[in-house]
Amino acid sequence: MGQDCPPSDTVQVNPPQDLWSIPYENNWNGLEVMTWNVQEFPTSSNTVNYVSEIISDILPDIIAFQEISDIPDYENFASMNPAYNFIHTNYGSEVNPDLGMAVRNDCVEIVNYTTLFSSEGWAFAYRYPLKAELQWGCGDAAITIQLINIHMKAFDEGFNQRLVASQVLADYIQNNISENIIVAGDFNDEIDDPENDNSLWPLVEDQNSYFTTTPIAGDNYYNSFPWGMYASFIDHVLISAELFDENMLSGEIQTLRIDDYTGSSTYQYHISDHRPVVWKINVDVVELSTGLVINEIMNNPVNVTDSYGEWFEMTNTGTDTIDLNGLTLKDDGGDQHTISQMGGLLLEPGEFVVLGVNDNPAENGGVNVDYVYSNFALGNGWDEIIFEHPTGAILDEVWYDNGASFPDPSGESMMLIDPYSDNSLGVNWTTSEVPFGDGDFGTPGLPNASSGILLEIDNIAGWNLIGLPVDVVDGSYLEIFPEANTGTLYAYNGMYIETETLTPGIGYWLRFDSDGTSLVEGLEIFNLTIELVEGWNMITGITSSVPVALIQDPDGIIVPGTIYEFDGSYENTTNLVPGKGYWIRTYATGDIILSSE
C-alpha cells in the first residue's frame, strides 16, 4: 500500500469506456470515503456500465454501496473495476437488498469484515450493518479505520426503527471509543430536524460522534435524494471522536451532482435516485517507530504440538513506546495477520512482548503470551517473520534458513545473542538452554540468555524479609517459594500491601511455618536500577552479593547506617545477599543502582 500521493487519478474500467467527462478526478492526497445508495442495483441493463464509468472518473478510496439487489450483477460490476477490491453481504432476500463495499487496492487493505448487531434485526430492517476494518496508507501517511455501512428503514413508519438503530450505533461508538469509526450510508432521515421529529437524535446529540454532513445539511442544492416529494438530504457520513481533530483541520464534505453531467433522465432511470456523498480528510504523516526487534523464536516446540506451542518474542531497543496495533505480521508466502487489540499492544523501551498461537499456559507449554495471532504459522525448517507498517514500510524481518546459517533447534528457541545486533544474520543467533514451562527451552518475556542460574534461598520459621534475585517467567510467590504460607506476601509503600507476584528490586515480607530452603531458577540479573521514595523502603539485591559500600547512589539519597536485614531481629548489614530483603531509608525520592560488573 505504500505509494506516492495522490494515487493515480486514471484507472480504466474493463472494458474501457468514456461516456461523460465528470470533473471529480482523484487529486486529493488524503482519505476519501464515499457513500452511495445505488437504487436496487442494477436498476437497468445499462447500470453496471454507467456506474463503472462514474467510479473510474471519481476514484474515491473507499465506497459504501447500499441497495444491491442482484449479487451476480454486483460481482460482474466488481470484475469491471480492477482498481478496487469488493466485498458484500448476502442476506438472501430481495426484500432486504444487500450492502457492498469497494476499496482501492493501491491504498486500502481490507483487514477483516463482518456484519453487526445480529440481535437487532428489526431496528436495522434486517439489513445488518457491514463493518470492515480497513488500513489506508498513502506515502508516509497511514490510518486504520472501522467503516460501518448502513441502510436504515425509510419513511415515517420506519421512525422508531431508525431511532432504536441510532441508539445501538451510539452505544457501539461509546463502547469502542478509542477506534477510528466511520458510519456511512443511507440513514433515511435528515439530521437538522428538531428532537421530537428526528429519528437520528441519539447520534445527533452524542458527544462521541459527529455528522460530517452538518455544514451542508438543509441546503437543497446538496440534497442526496434530490427528486420528488421526498427530496431531502438523507445520506450521511458519521465519524467518532478519534477523527474530530482531522475533520476540523482538513475535513471536506460534498454531494456529487453526477446528474449535472449525465443528464437527469439518464441518471434517474439508469443509475440511481440517490447522489453519492464524499467525505475527505488529510491524514498525518506517520513517524515510523525505531527499535522494534524480533528477538526470540520458538518455531519447533517438542513438549507441545506446533499448533499450540509456537511463539516469538519482540523487544524494543528504542527510546519510545511502540504500539504494535495495526502492524501486519506476515511471511513471504500467504500467511498474514494484522494486529488488532483494544487499547493497543504497547511495547515499552527495554521490555518484551510475546506473540503466539495460544495464550493458555496449560495448553501452550507454559508460555505467558501477550497476544494471540491467527492465519500465521512458523515453519520448522525455514520461514520468515515480517512486520509491516500500514504504509508498506518493513519495520523488522527475520528469514531463518533450516540451519544453513541460523540455528535449527528442536524444543529450543532461537534467540538473538544481542538485541542490538543485526538479526538478519544467522551468526547472531543461538539456541536457549534455559528450561521453562513443560520442559522446552527458552526465555519468553525475559532477556535472552543461553543458560539460567539456580540459587538456594534459606528461610527461618516465621516472618522473613525476602526478594527475587533472578528474572523468571512466572513471579508468583508460591511458584518461587512453594513452602510459604498462603496470603502472607506483603510489599511496603508507606503501608503494607498484600500482593501475589515478586518483582526484582523490591523487598517483601513472607511467612513460613518452618526453617527451609527454596531453589530458585532464572536468568541472572547483572544490573538493576531501583526507584526509592523518601523515607523507608523495602528492597532486594541482584543475583550476586553487592557490598553496601558499592551501592551506586548518584544523588546521595541514602541515609547512612539505615540498611537493615532481618533474621529474627534487625541488624545493620554490610552486603546485599541474593534472595534476601532489606529496609533502607532515604532523604528524598530517587534511584540507586546495583551492579555486579
**Structure confidence by residue, pLDDT tens digits, 354-390:** 999 999 999 999 999 999 999 999 999 999 999 988 7
What percent of the chain stands above pLDDT 70? 95
Regarding the domain delimited by 292-431, which CATH topology (the fold level of the hierarchy) does it fall under? Immunoglobulin-like (2.60.40)
Q: Dump pLDDT digits (tens) for 27-37.
A: 556 899 999 99
Is pLDDT larger for residue 499 or for residue 454?
499
Q: Would you state the pLDDT for residue 3?
A: 43
Whether residue 94 has pLDDT greater than 80: no
Q: Dump pLDDT digits (tens) for 481-522.
A: 999 999 999 999 999 999 999 999 999 999 999 999 998 888
Q: Is the entire prediction scored with pTM above 0.85?
A: no
For residue 209, report the phi and psi dihedrals to the nearest 5 degrees.
Answer: -145, 160
Q: Would you state the pLDDT for residue 436?
A: 86
DSSP 99: E
Q: Would you state the pLDDT for residue 560?
A: 97
Residues 6+ away with beta carbon under 8 Å from 560? none
Mean pLDDT value of segment 230-247:
94
Q: Dump pLDDT digits (tens) for 255-287.
A: 999 999 999 999 999 999 999 999 999 887 767
Q: Would you state the pLDDT for residue 2?
A: 41
Q: Would you state the pLDDT for residue 11?
A: 60
Whether residue 100 has pLDDT greater than 70: yes
Mean pLDDT value of segment 388-397:
85
Whether residue 452 has pLDDT greater than 90: no
If we measure between CA atoms, which residue out of 126, 120, 111, 123 comes closest to residue 180? 111
Q: What's the mean per-residue pLDDT of the chain?
A: 92
Whether residue 306 has pLDDT greater than 60: yes
Which residue type sits at 235?
Answer: D
What CATH number should be reported for the domain whose range is 31-281? Answer: 3.60.10.10
Whether residue 95 has pLDDT greater than 80: no
Q: What residue spans in the chain does CATH classification 3.60.10.10 cover?
A: 31-281
If we measure between CA atoms, which residue out of 506, 563, 495, 502 comes closest to residue 529? 506
Contact 68, 149 (CB under 8 A): no
Helix (H, G, I), strand (E, B) or coil at 407: coil
Residue that the C-alpha cell 436504515 belongs to: 152
pLDDT band at residue 307 under the 50/70/90 scheme? very high
Q: Would you state the pLDDT for residue 26?
A: 56
Which residue type sits at 518?
Answer: S
Rounded to 10°, the helix 47-58/71-79 angle is 40
Q: Would you state the pLDDT for residue 141?
A: 80
Whether residue 6 has pLDDT greater than 60: no
Mean pLDDT value of segment 232-259:
94
